[in-house]
Structure 1
Amino acid sequence: MTEQALEKLANNIKKWGQELGFQQVGIADIDLSEHEAELQQWLDSNYHGAMDYMSRHGMMRARPDELHPGALRVISVRMDYLPPDASFANDLKHTEVGYISRYALGRDYHKVMRQRLKQLGEQIKQSCSELDYRPFVDSAPILERPLAANAGLGWVGKHSLVLDEQAGSWFFLGELLVNLPLPVDQPITEKCGSCVACITICPTQAIVEPYVVDARRCISYLTIELNGPIPEEFRPLIGNRIYGCDDCQLICPWNRYAKLTDEADFHPRTQLKSQQLLTLFNWTEAEFLQRTEGSPIRRIGFERWQRNIAVALGNASYRAEVTEALEQALASATSDLVKEHILWALTQQQQKSDLMSAKKTQRLIRSIEKGLPRDA
Structure 2
Amino acid sequence: MDSQAVKAFAVASGFTEARICRADEAWEAGERLAEFVAGGQHGSMVWMEDTLARRQHPTGMWPDAKSAVVVALNYGPNTDPLAALERKSEGVISVYAQNADYHDLMKKRLKHMAREFVAKTGAEVKVFVDTAPLMEKPLAAKAGMGWQGKHTNLVSREHGSWLFLGVMLTAAELEPDAAETDHCGSCTACLDICPTQAFPQPYKLDARRCISYLTIEHKGPIPLEFRAAMGNRIYGCDDCLAICPWNKFAAVASDMAFHPRPELKGPLLSELAALDDTEFRAVFTASPVKRIGRGRFGRNVMIAVGNSDDQSLLPAVLDRLEDEDAMVRGAAVWALSRLAPQLARERAKARPGTDTDPEVEAEWQAIARIDTRG
TM-score normalised over the length of structure 1: 0.89
Change (3 A) 1:32 1:137: farther
Match of 2:335 among 338, 345, 366: 345
Structure 1 residue 351: Cα displacement: 3.8
Instruction: Say whether the 8 Å CA contact 2:151–2:191 is kept in structure 1.
Output: yes
Matches of 2:83 and 2:9, distance apart in 1: 38
Could you say what secondary structure the match of 1:146 adopts? helix
Structure 1 residue 257: Cα displacement: 1.1
Structure 1 residue 33: Cα displacement: 3.5
Quick one: which amino acid aligns to residue 34 of structure 1? E
The equivalent of 2:306 in structure 1 is 314
Unaligned runs of 5+ in 1: 1-7, 355-376
Matches of 2:27 and 2:144, distance apart in 1: 18
Matched, 1:185 2:177: yes
The equivalent of 2:352 in structure 1 is none
Matches of 2:189 and 2:302, distance apart in 1: 30
CA RMSD of aligned residues (A): 1.5
Could you say what secondary structure the match of 1:189 adopts? coil
Instruction: Say whether the 8 Å CA contact 1:318–1:353 is kept in structure 2.
Output: no
Instruction: Say whether the 8 Å CA contact 1:27–1:74 is kept in structure 2.
Output: yes
Mean alpha-carbon deviation: is it higher for 296-305 or for 273-282? 273-282
The equivalent of 2:66 in structure 1 is 72
Structure 1 residue 213: Cα displacement: 0.5
Match of 2:127 among 128, 135, 154: 135
Instruction: Say whether the 8 Å CA contact 1:32–1:62 is kept in structure 2.
Output: no
Runs of 4+ in 1 over 4 A off after TM superposition: none
Structure 1 residue 271: Cα displacement: 1.5
Could you say what secondary structure the match of 1:322 adopts? helix
Matches of 1:271 and 1:239, distance apart in 2: 20
Instruction: Say whether the 8 Å CA contact 1:33–1:62 is kept in structure 2.
Output: no
The equivalent of 1:204 in structure 2 is 196
Based on CA coordinates, which of the two structures has the bigger radius of gyration? 1
Could you say what secondary structure the match of 2:340 adopts? helix
Unaligned runs of 5+ in 2: 345-374
The equivalent of 2:213 in structure 1 is 221
Matched, 1:16 2:9: yes
Matches of 1:159 and 1:251, distance apart in 2: 11
Could you say what secondary structure the match of 1:298 adopts? helix
Q: 1:18-167 maps to which residues of 2 (within 5 A)?
A: 18-30=11-23, 31-84=25-78, 86-129=79-122, 131-167=123-159
Could you say what secondary structure the match of 1:271 adopts? helix
Instruction: Say whether the 8 Å CA contact 2:110–2:127 is kept in structure 1.
Output: yes
Quick one: which amino acid aligns to residue 47 of structure 1? Q
Matched, 1:328 2:322: no
Matched, 1:237 2:196: no
Matched, 1:263 2:255: yes
Matches of 2:131 and 2:329, distance apart in 1: 33
Matched, 1:295 2:305: no
Match of 2:275 among 237, 259, 283: 283
Instruction: Say whether the 8 Å CA contact 2:72–2:165 is kept in structure 1.
Output: yes
Change (3 A) 1:17 1:265: same
Instruction: Say whether the 8 Å CA contact 1:219–1:238 is kept in structure 2.
Output: yes
Structure 1 residue 286: Cα displacement: 1.0
Instruction: Say whether the 8 Å CA contact 2:80–2:242 is kept in structure 1.
Output: no
Could you say what secondary structure the match of 2:165 adopts? strand
Could you say what secondary structure the match of 2:331 adopts? helix
Quick one: which amino acid aligns to residue 58 of structure 2? P
Structure 1 residue 318: Cα displacement: 3.5
